[in-house]
Amino acid sequence: MDQPDPRNASGLILSATEPMRSFLALACDDHRLSEELRDIASDLRPRNTVPYKLLRAIWTGSDPSTRPDLLGLFSGSGFVFTSPKPREKSEELKLRLLKLRDIAERKEYAELVKDITPRKQVEEPFSSYKDQLGFGLHVGLTMFTGYLVGYASFRALFNRNPALSAAGGILGLVLAMLVETLLFIIKTSKDDQIQSSQSSSSFTPTTKKNQ
């Protein structure tokens, strides 16, 4: 059977006592032990701590008539606890922590300069009565134009049938309203992107300057 490795300090670790050192000194010359166990005893003798597994292996292989009682051998000794190695953070966790730290620093900076830096006034769509009135007239004119185009188209296609001409006008009105809605959504999205890029670009130089 393979003997324990003296360099392997896994398992329980005991503080060395004088009875242990005396026993290990005798074990160095105990020919009942294998050469490897004698070397282990010689290696453990000057140490301040002794692994339990190695000491037990030496005690088991030594002469029963000369070896001390196992309980007496451990008397006065105590357990020695070693601190585990700190776990290394993964690269993904490091990047995540760095990003969170950057966000926290940005918030802290914004809190510090909120009373110094004037707030940018964000122009909301239809923020004034004039904008609302202009947009309403524009939508009304577009829908009216769509109705006229649809009415004239269906009237020419269906031999001036009043019902179908009216249906064509309604269809043109709906299509004009949909187009106007789509254009409004696109315009609002572009305005939001421009405001976001302006706020981020104005913040970045200030941050670099403080660094």
Tell me, what's the pLDDT at 4?
47
For the chain, 211 residues long, give each residue's pLDDT as a single digit of tens. Answer: 444 454 455 678 888 888 888 888 888 888 888 888 888 888 888 888 888 888 888 888 887 888 888 777 877 777 777 766 666 767 888 888 888 998 998 888 888 877 776 555 545 555 566 767 777 787 888 888 888 888 888 888 888 788 888 888 888 888 888 888 888 888 878 777 776 666 555 545 444 444 4
The DSSP code for 49 is E
Query: How many CB atoms lie under 10 A from the CB of residue 68?
Result: 16
Tell me, what's the pLDDT at 2?
46
Say if residues 15 and 39 touch (Cβ distance below 8 Å). no
Instruction: Name the strand (E) or helix (H) holding 72.
Output: helix 70-74
**Cα–Cα distance measured from residue 211 to residue 207, given in angstroms and rounded to the nearest whole number:** 6
Tell me, what's the pLDDT at 211?
47
